Chain A
């Protein structure tokens, strides 16, 4: 286990030194804080835009539902971009640069190399999303009120789970691929494939994206949980990580 924590510690240090952690946290903070503000101020902004005053009257009175929808939309869109971008180089870049050969000839189990990296990605997004969630909760409460803290937290956990599914799949491509481009392409490709599968009737409730709908329902009440989507998400994450470990174990560095 000490090797796992050693890799995790090194990855976190790298995330801090490279300012990757700062970038991810700042992005999710900005959109976490801005989402309720934008939901609240959209009518006023439209009124201030020359020629758009007429549209302002058509915009319904903003509500907490708008703030939550805006928050989940922004955090999921920017979060998924960051999750794929930060995961795509995790393994393949180390192989390209030769650092993987330097450390994998030490008594470092290859599963710990993968797991340490995933744990660091998870920790980075946990921190960044927590900061964004605090900002989003504060402004939602100030501007609209009525957002339950427990439900808000649970919704953010679902959002984090969804992001980590894609981070794990991209990590698998980063292990299998020969370049960051291939790994990134694989990550975005899986996003597209899962998006297309979502259009198949009856399949959507099984897909990770259903977690976002569950998150919205949690915050606003109404509708039930999406347990199948959660099970599939956890299974996809687990299988992607196992796949990455097995692939790295078989590879020559």
Chain B
């Protein structure tokens, strides 16, 4: 399968700090690829290296077969890059800024106008295209950032936290839009919102401390690394009793962790092994006489897998 992005031993050090340590990554063309990691894991450094804004201390990266070099114009034509906090000239208007970017790509007047209007419509900024950028909200700026990354029709889109500043409706729209870009465009995006990754990514890579922890298809990752999770729900008003009972479970050998829902009436119980956990939970709930409304073995979330992988890396 053709690779859109390939990293071999990609490393970056800032003085004594090693932000990225021998990253090995292969992103297939046409994929929507989630790049996950805790703060300081090296996600933004990787993005900047791939965008040609920084130079690696060691190793190399290729985009669509072209070796990435800082300031390379060939790479710039292949890639659309949205930084985590996109910055603009506040005195410009969105339409002017996009026209400026299109000029940098050398498009003629008619083509510029067509592309600018198309991306404005795509990201839903047509109504504010004549307003000063300094007056736009953070969400609108994020959309403008996405528009400027798309204006030249890149083959690879590097998005650093593209939906973090958007409201839920805006986020859903942008995610649907990103999903629709594939397979013509490969999307490589980092995010802290793991539900977004689960929603749209074909593949994910998890990095921690500048090292790749795992790369796999999303479904495979969930299957390979996920541990069983039971969800237990009690009648309204019984949240305190449920929490007390869960605290008493603390020392059980089959138990790995517990997370409470915001309403307090339900909890997710991460287990080592299903059958032992099931027996212990049913017996324990009966003994405690908790008025349960639901006890269910559920599909683990990517967040649970992510936390487990990253904690495992930190413990090494």
Contact = CB atoms under 8 A, between A and B. Distances in A.
A105 B73 contact: no
B218 interface: no
Interface stretch (A2-10, A28-36, A122-130, A200-208): A2-10
A3 to B, nearest CB: 6
A110 interface: yes
B83 A98 contact: yes
A90 to B, nearest CB: 13
A141 B64 CA distance: 67
A14 B91 contact: yes
Given A18-B91, A252-B55, A104 B83 contact: no
Contacts of A10: 89, 100
Contact of B103 (A2, A97, A98, A252): A2
A3 B104 contact: yes
Interface of A: 2-3, 6, 9-10, 14, 17-18, 97-99, 101-110, 249, 252-253
A217 to B, nearest CB: 43
Interface in B38-52: 48, 51-52
B291 interface: no
B88 A102 contact: yes
Interface residues of B, number: 27
Interface of B: 48, 51-55, 70-71, 73, 76-77, 79, 81, 83, 85-89, 91, 100-101, 103-106, 148
Contact of B81 (A6, A105, A110): A105
Contacts of A249: 71
Nearest to B82: A102
Contacts, number: 65
B102 to A, nearest CB: 10
A252 B55 CA distance: 7
Nearest to A251: B70
Given A6-B100, A14-B89, A107-B73, A102 B106 contact: no
Contacts of A252: 48, 53-55, 70
A202 to B, nearest CB: 44
Given A14-B89, A102-B148, A253-B54, 19 more contacts: A3-B106, A10-B89, A97-B87, A98-B87, A99-B87, A99-B89, A101-B48, A101-B87, A102-B83, A102-B86, A102-B87, A103-B100, A105-B76, A106-B101, A107-B104, A107-B106, A108-B76, A109-B71, A252-B55
Contacts of A2: 103, 106
B53 A6 contact: no
A97 B91 CA distance: 13
Contacts of B76: 105-108
Contacts of B55: 252
Contacts of A101: 48, 53, 83, 87
A184 B87 CA distance: 24
B103 A104 contact: no
A102 B53 CA distance: 10
A107 B88 contact: no
Contacts of A9: 103
B245 to A, nearest CB: 51
Contacts of B85: 98
Nearest to B71: A110
Given A107-B73, A252-B54, A253-B53, A99 B88 contact: yes
A76 B76 CA distance: 42
Given A105-B52, A105-B53, A252-B54, A6 B104 contact: yes
B160 to A, nearest CB: 11
Contacts of B91: 14, 17-18
A176 to B, nearest CB: 17
